Structure 1
Amino acid sequence: MVSEHVQSRSGKRQKTEDRIIGAAAELFLKHGFKATTIRAIARAAEVSVGRVMSVGDKDVILVRCFDRWIGQLQNGTYTASPRRGSLSQRGSSSVQRHLLELFLPFLEFFAEHEDLSRDYAAAMMRVRGEPEVFNTLAVDLQSRLSESLVSIGINEGHARASAAALYDSYLGILFRWAATTMSLDDAVEAMLASIVFHTRVRGSL
C-alpha cells in the first residue's frame, strides 16, 4: 500500500512537471525567453509560482523545453515547418544525404527560433547538471549515425568514434551559430563538411 501511494504521488508530480514544461514551451515559442515570466508559466500551467520554481529557474526550464523539442524532433512527433528542398539535396552520396537528413530537423528548428536558440545556448552554460541532449538523446542519435556509417563498410569501432565526432560537431555548430551571424545555409554546409570527412576518410580504414 505504501509503495502504491508513493508511486501515485510520484506519477502526479511528474504529470504536473510535464504540464509546467508544456506551458513554458508554448510561452517561449510565442513570446520568447526574456518576455516569459515564471508567473506567466504558473498561470498557464494552473499551478503556483512556487511549484514552477520547484522545477527550476527559467534557464533550467528552457533547457528542459529544448530537451522535449529535440526528443520530439528525433522521434518524429514534432510538427515542423515545410523544408526547403535544396537543403536535403546536398551531399554527393546517398549516405551523406541520409546523415545530413538526421541533423536537418534540429538545424531547421534552431533557424526558425533563432533568438530562443541563442538564449538556450547561454542557458546551457549556466545550468548545472547534464541536460538530456548530452545523455539519452545523444545516445539515440549517435546510434543511428553509427548504423549508417557501418552500412557503407566502416568498421563498428570507427563508426562509433565518427558518430560521436559528428554529434560533437553538431553541438559545436549550434554554439557557434548562437554566438555569430552564421546562417542556416552556413550551418548546413559546416555539418555537411564534417559528414563528408567522416564518410570519406574513415571509409578506407
Structure 2
Amino acid sequence: MNEIWREVEKIPRFWRAYTSLFILPSSIGGLFDLLILFKTSSDLEGSGMGRAGAGYAWSRIIDALFILLLNYPINAFSLFRSFFLSVVYTQSILSPNSHVSLFGLVSIPNYAYPYVILAIDLLIGGPVIVLFGLMGIIAAHFRHTLSIFPSPVPALIRNTLTTPPQWFEKWWISSESRERHTGFGTAINPTQSRSQTHNWGGGRRLAD
C-alpha cells in the first residue's frame, strides 16, 4: 500500500494551482473578505449574461495566471488574498469616483479602497500579508494596462490577455442558453425537445 501511495504522490498536483486561490483564513475576517468578494464580483459582472459575463470570467482567469507566476518564487500555499485584492483593485480603477463603506462606519473613495485594505493588512497581519495583496494588485494592474496603453507586447498576446477568445465567448453563451435563472434557483433547460405523443386523429362518432 505504501508503494502505491508513493507512486500516487509522484503525480503532479495540478489542481493546487486552482484551489490555492480559494483557501480562506480561518477567522471572521475571512468571512468578511468572502462577502466583499461576492459583492464586488457581482458589481463587476453586472448581469453576467453574454459577452459581459465572458469578459469578467476571462479577466479573472488572466489575473489568476499572473498571480500564480508572481507566486512562483514565493511559493505561498494560499493565494486568496491576492485574488481578493485583484478583484477589488479592478473595481477601483473602473469606478474610481464611487464610494464604499468601510465596516459601515466610514465612506471612502473607491480608488483608495485597495490601499486602505493594504494598510489594515499591515497593521493586523504584517508585511507578508501585504505582499500577498500586492501580488493581486500588480496582476490586475498589468492586465488593465495592457488593455488601454500601447506596449511592446505583440498584439496577438496582448489581445489574448485582455479580450476573451471567441471560443470562450461561444462556450460561455452556450452554457447560459442551457440555464434559466428563476427567483428560487437555476433551472437547466433540456438539450432535446420533448418527444411528441402519437396523433390518434380527430376520432369518429358511433353513428358515422
- Same topology, TM > 0.5: no
**TM-score band, normalised by shorter chain:** under 0.3
TM-score by length of 1: 0.27
Larger radius of gyration: 2
TM-score, normalised relative to structure 2: 0.27
